[in-house]
Amino acid sequence: DAKTTQPTSMDCAEGRAANLPCNHSTISGNEYVYWYRQIHSQGPQYIIHGLKNNETNEMASLIITEDRKSSTLILPHATLRDTAVYYCIVRSTGQGSGTASKLTFGTGTRLQVTL
Amino acid sequence: GAVVSQHPSRVICKSGTSVKIECRSLDFQATTMFWYRQFPKQSLMLMATSNEGSKATYEQGVEKDKFLINHASLTLSTLTVTSAHPEDSSFYICSARVRGKEQYFGPGTRLTVT
């Protein structure tokens, strides 16, 4: 699985956009970039994923560079409830029938949204 | 998004006893379920992957005889921690996925072994 590198922590003022970067320079052509977040003492929550094109949903936008070696998760208007650890994950495709691809978590970025 | 539940949310047990944790996909049928463990201030570590009706695949270093996984139906998987010891105290999180779809996580179970 390709590895990802994220900053350990970031701060963001409430109401401002939070831009969380992720490097995945060894990503292969058929691997997706996934973003999850984990609020303290809860299970991870799916945010968004993408392959090549930029993606947007009701939670966030995902910007993937043309060479796919890095991406940025954008929370357009951060709120206090967005304080969490954000994980950028490159998902393996698995091999062989019946073999599930795995989500391997790194250390993530701890985003602190402040007033 | 799809809902995954876990039961119990918290459990305290004595050293040497066994504990069973249930994971259910409430509004979808999961072809694959995953079990993770998370120690304080650390990231999630995948323990095992199970497909309905077949034996679980354990990650390196995870004792399959200690962490028994049963995936008897498309909506239920159980993790049994056998002969639990204090070092097994952790946050256990299950996850479920339909083939080709996103992976959804349960709320986690905090196990404390005294």
Q: What does the pLDDT profile of chain B (114 residues) look like in tens digits?
A: 689 999 999 999 999 999 999 999 998 888 899 999 999 989 999 999 998 878 899 999 999 999 999 988 889 999 999 999 999 999 999 999 887 778 899 999 999 999
For residues B42 and B7, give the distance between their C-alpha atoms in angstroms, rounded to a whole number. 22
Once rounded to an integer, what is the mean pLDDT over residues A46-62? 95
Contact A100 B49 (CB under 8 A): yes
**pLDDT value at position A93?**
62
For residues A60 and A76, give the distance between their C-alpha atoms in angstroms, rounded to a whole number. 7
Chain A residues with CB under 8 Å of B54 CB are: 98
Chain A residues with CB under 8 Å of B49 CB are: 100, 102
Once rounded to an integer, what is the mean pLDDT over residues A76-95? 89
The dihedral built from the CA positions of residue A82, A83, A88 and A93, taken in this order, carries a sign that is: negative
Contact A107 B95 (CB under 8 A): no
**pLDDT value at position A101?**
75
Give the nearest partner residue to B51 out of A41, A43, A100, using CB atoms: A100
For residues B26 and B15, give the distance between their C-alpha atoms in angstroms, rounded to a whole number. 32
Contact A43 B45 (CB under 8 A): no
Contact B34 A103 (CB under 8 A): yes
Q: How far is A39 from chain B (nearest CA, A)?
A: 10
List, as ranges, residues 52-71 from B with C-beta within 8 Å of A.
Answer: 54
pLDDT at A96 over 80: no
pLDDT at A94 over 60: no
pLDDT at A97 over 60: no
| Beta pairing partners, B91 | B38, B110
Residue A29 CB coordination number (10 Å): 7
User: What is the dihedral angle through the alpha carbons of B56, B21, B47, A73, rounded to the nearest 10 degrees?
Assistant: 120
Q: How far is B107 from chain A (nearest CA, A)?
A: 4
The DSSP symbol for A95 reads S
Pairwise pLDDT comparison (A98 vs A69), residue with the higher score: A69
For residues B36 and B43, give the distance between their C-alpha atoms in angstroms, rounded to a whole number. 10
- pLDDT tens digits, one per residue of A9-28: 999 999 999 999 999 999 98
